[in-house]
Amino acid sequence: MILTRPSMFAGIQVQTLIDFPGRIAAAVFVKGCNFRCPWCHNADFAYKDPDNFPSIDEEEILSTLENRKAFLDGLVISGGEPSLYGEDILHFAKKVKALGYALKLDTNGYDPDFIEDSIGLFDFIAMDVKNSFEKYPETCGLITMDIGRIRKSIEFIKRHFSAHQFRTTKIPGLVTDEDLDKIRSYIGEELIVQEYKNRNV
């Protein structure tokens, strides 16, 4: 009997000029997330109903990347939250690297051990710092959180990934200018602030 595992991937964007600094990239989006951000743009496959969201096979993604090598030089692995897949997503990333692509990881930073395991594989890492630490759980739609994991990921990324960015989406009524100043003090470097676009209107 052949057992097949459900695909990790909800979809692929075959070209983006804005998601991987300095590169023409494709982006793949994994299903599932350990956060429940009420304002999430990808909530359907991140946490609402990932099992019933359409999937794309890993083989199809690799084939697309192979065919588009002449036009692309990077892949963004985004989500959802890629760290949920641990070794499986790292194994996929190694296959993409072998095709000659540079790799960028988008993460919520809640798994510092995964980030540690990613050293040497990802050329760029972007971590969302959701809010000031006291407002983190409500921003992520959780009751409680271990903020130590977020702190650890920030320090780890600063120490080990020369190409990285920390970014925050300014959610109206939730992330204030005062919160942004606190986040800047946590990271001690430039913060990318993204304006929230409500895609439901």
Contact positions toward ligand SF4, by CB under 6 A? 33, 35-37, 40, 42, 46-47, 79-81, 108
Shortest Å distance, C-beta 86 to ligand SF4: 16
Shortest Å distance, C-beta 103 to ligand SF4: 19
**Phi, psi of 104, deg, nearest 5:** -120, 140
Element counts in the chain: helices (H) and strands (E): 7, 7
Shortest Å distance, C-beta 130 to ligand SF4: 7
Of 75, 57, 74, which is closest to residue 8 (Cα–Cα)? 57
How far apart (Å, rounded) are the C-alpha atoms in residues 89 and 111?
A: 14
Shortest Å distance, C-beta 98 to ligand SF4: 27
- 11, β-bridge pairs: 29
Q: Which of residues 72 and 112 has its CB atom nearest to ligand SF4 in the complex?
A: 112
How far apart (Å, rounded) are the C-alpha atoms in residues 75 and 73?
A: 7
Of 143, 149, 101, which is closest to residue 121 (Cα–Cα)? 101
Tokens of 171: 């959610």
What is the chain's length?
201
Q: Which of residues 27 and 72 has its CB atom nearest to ligand SF4 in the complex?
A: 27
Q: Which of residues 36 and 97 has its CB atom nearest to ligand SF4 in the complex?
A: 36
Shortest Å distance, C-beta 4 to ligand SF4: 25
Do the Cβ atoms of 125 and 105 come closer than 8 Å?
yes
Per residue, the 3-state secondary structure of 120-153, as one string, reads CCCCEEEEECCCCHHHHHHHHCCCCCCHHHHHHH
Shortest Å distance, C-beta 38 to ligand SF4: 9
> For the chain, what is the radius of gyration of the CA atoms?
17
Q: Which of residues 74 and 79 has its CB atom nearest to ligand SF4 in the complex?
A: 79
Q: Which of residues 46 and 102 has its CB atom nearest to ligand SF4 in the complex?
A: 46
Q: Which of residues 108 and 118 has its CB atom nearest to ligand SF4 in the complex?
A: 108
